[in-house]
Amino acid sequence: GAGVSQSPRYKVAKRGQDVALRCDPISGHVSLFWYQQALGQGPEFLTYFQNEAQLDKSGLPSDRFFAERPEGSVSTLKIQRTQQEDSAVYLCASSLGIRGGGNSPLHFGNGTRLTVT
Amino acid sequence: AQTVTQSQPEMSVQEAETVTLSCTYDTSESNYYLFWYKQPPSRQMILVIRQEAYKQQNATENRFSVNFQKAAKSFSLKISDSQLGDTAMYFCAFMKQASGSRLTFGEGTQLTVNP
């Protein structure tokens, strides 16, 4: 595809429900990141994949958050037993290489806005 | 750990005028990148400009330029000839020069360009 695609665009969940957010990175991109953006704040890092390997999950706020990328392309962020504080925009980004910055810029998706009621 | 601070929650400018957005950061790293991203209501983060820390020359991209002061750990964005389409949230961000490095974002500055 032309860019990073995320679905759904909006998700409303009742407190306690499980949700799954999908990210389709640009084809061939090795690196994939998930970020959480609370209302009026800058995005905060959640986790990083290099192909199918989850190399950094230090930003996941609790063990209710789980991410996978089993075939090194599509990634899913799962949140179990959602809480109101999970309400945020979840952004996915991918890059061609493994060294970020100038030679391998990040491409972001439009995010999924999760609202927990 | 790195921190990025944007001290201007909101800014406004008249169309065709120039505006400067401020950003300071703190790090003990010597090799890193700095970025400015634009986030319109569509929510997609769009890269505006990037700066490699080892380069003394300030980066420019058409109407956008930065003032990078490494010793002062300051990285401001200047937008010249502001256009209505520049209205958006602007985020300053830091990235270490290493494999799989994450972006650390500031809190953002909401820029409004008035006709």
- Per-residue pLDDT tens for B41-86? 889 999 999 999 998 899 999 999 999 999 999 999 999 999 999 9
Q: Does residue A99 have a pLDDT over 70?
A: no
pLDDT: which is higher, A111 or A105: A111
Determine which of A102-106, A113-117, B19-23 has the lowest per-residue pLDDT on average. Answer: A102-106
User: What is residue A105's predicted lDDT score, i.e. its pLDDT?
Assistant: 82
Q: Does residue A104 have a pLDDT over 90?
A: no
User: What is residue A2's predicted lDDT score, i.e. its pLDDT?
Assistant: 77
Distance between CA atoms of residues B48 and B93, nearest Å: 11
Interface test with A, best of B21, B43, B90, B94 (most A CBs within 10 A): B43
User: What is residue A100's predicted lDDT score, i.e. its pLDDT?
Assistant: 58
Write out the E strands in chain A: 5-7, 10-13, 19-24, 31-37, 44-50, 53-56, 65-68, 75-79, 88-95, 107-108, 112-116
User: What is residue A108's predicted lDDT score, i.e. its pLDDT?
Assistant: 94
Q: Does residue B103 have a pLDDT over 80?
A: yes
Which phi and psi angles does A72 have, rounded to 5°?
Answer: 75, 15
Banded pLDDT at B93 (limits 50, 70, 90):
very high
Cis peptide before B40 (omega within 30 of 0): no
Q: Does residue B100 have a pLDDT over 80?
A: no
Q: Does residue B37 have a pLDDT over 70?
A: yes
Nearest residue of chain A to residue B6 (CA atoms): A42
Distance between CA atoms of residues B2 and A2, nearest Å: 32
Mean pLDDT of the residues in chain A:
93
- pLDDT of A38-94, one tens digit each? 999 999 999 999 999 999 999 999 999 999 999 999 999 999 999 999 999 999 999
Q: Using the structure block, give the residue that is written with the tokens 């953006």.
A: A37
List of chain A residues whose C-beta atoms are within 8 Å of the C-beta of residue B50: 101-102, 105
Q: Does residue B6 have a pLDDT over 70?
A: yes
Interface test with B, best of A41, A55, A94, A112 (most B CBs within 10 A): A41
How many Cα neighbours within 13 Å face the side chain of A80? Answer: 6
Beta-strand pair B64-69/B60-61: antiparallel
User: What is residue A101's predicted lDDT score, i.e. its pLDDT?
Assistant: 56
Q: What's the whole-number mean pLDDT along residues B6-28?
A: 97
User: What is residue A1's predicted lDDT score, i.e. its pLDDT?
Assistant: 52
Nearest residue of chain A to residue B10 (CA atoms): A40
